[in-house]
Structures are given as C-alpha cells and as structure tokens.
Amino acid sequence: MKIDILPIGLYQENIYVLHDNGHVLIIDPGRYGKEIARKIASDETVDAVILTHGHSDHTMAADDMAEKYGCPVYMNHGDLPLTAKDAGRIDGTEYPVWSPIEDLPEGDITIGSFPLHIYHTPGHTAGSVLIRYRNVLFTGDTLFASSIGRTDLYSGDEVQMIDSLRRIVRLPADLTFYPGHGPSSTIGLQLKVNPYLQNL
C-alpha cells in the first residue's frame, strides 16, 4: 500500500491517491487533475473517486478524474445539496459535481478491489464520512491533528459533531489518520493532545 499526498490550493486541501496491488482510489480531488494524474501509473486501474464530504475544495476535480479514468464517484448522499448545480446559493461556491454520485453509507463496502469501512460522522456537514482501509483512516474535515472541522457552515451541527467525536475516541489508538487539511497523526496521539477529544 502506498499513499500519495497532494496538499494544494488556497486552503492546502489534502488530496490522497491510495495505491494497492495495481489499483487506485482518489480521495477528495479538490483541484489540479493533471497533478493528480501524474501520481497514477499507466498500468494502474483507478477504481473510484471518493469524497469525504461535499465542500468544493474537496470536489472540484472529481468530474475530471471520473471522465479521465471512467470511474464512479462516491459520496454520502447527505451532502448532495452541496454538489448540486445550484450549490452556490448554499455555500457561496459555483463548482457543482456533474457526474452521477453513488451513495457512501455507513458500514462495510467494497469499491473495486478495496474493502472499506465507512463511518458516517455528521457535524462538519450532514454527509461527512470517515473512510477506513486497513489501518489507515481518511477523516476529511471531521478530524484534524489537534483540531476538528467547523460546524458553522451549511448543514454543520455542533451537537452532531460531538456525537461523531465520541465515536472517534473509541477507535483503535494505533489507527493512522489522514485529514482534509494539515498533517497526519494517530488516534492515540490525538486522545492526548487534541482538546476536542478530551473528556469525551
């Protein structure tokens, strides 16, 4: 398994290219499809684009990647309003996702050759999810190193975020997570240093 990390754009959103056994998942392609494509070998198969949530800094290259590789796009349908053609009326952006979006519900799911576990973690947005593959976790804007995502944007909810964080603190301490912004960390370390996880 190999993970390429591309922090790009104004908000330094982390795009992840997950490789394993000749197959690839593209997670949160925010922009710059050509930069993403450079990380994917010609003999690799892109199984899907997966979005941890619907904010445009995580989705703007989803259509380009889906078209280039002929792969589906997955996102929890709770965030469909954020990617609709009139999404700009909701969050101020004008970057809808035109590709059909497959739902990404809670639970075990196999996408291509990747057996995944999806945790539905509303709080930052109604459809925010964590994506687990083996001993790594992609947390989008739900959990950061020493912080958490905002809850004051469209469909954000502070009470739901607290409930989601209570689930996160029960995850294995040695689980390495890769957030939507900033450096990676482990659940165990965050239990010690992240003030939002303490006393939960």
pTM comes to 0.95
CATH architecture of 2-82+107-193: 4-Layer Sandwich (3.60)
Q: Which residues of the chain have pLDDT under 50?
A: none
Q: Tens of pLDDT along 43-97?
A: 999 999 999 999 999 999 999 999 999 999 999 999 999 998 776 555 555 678 9
If phi > 0 it is left, if psi is from -120 to 50 it is alpha, else beta; for residue 83 that is alpha
Query: How far is residue 75's CA from residue 17's CA, in Å, rounded to a whole number?
Result: 16
Contact predicate 125/59, CB 8 Å: no
Q: So where are the chain's domains?
A: 2-82+107-193
Q: What is the DSSP secondary structure assignment for residue 181, as one 8-state letter?
A: B
Give percent of the chain with pLDDT exceeding 90: 88
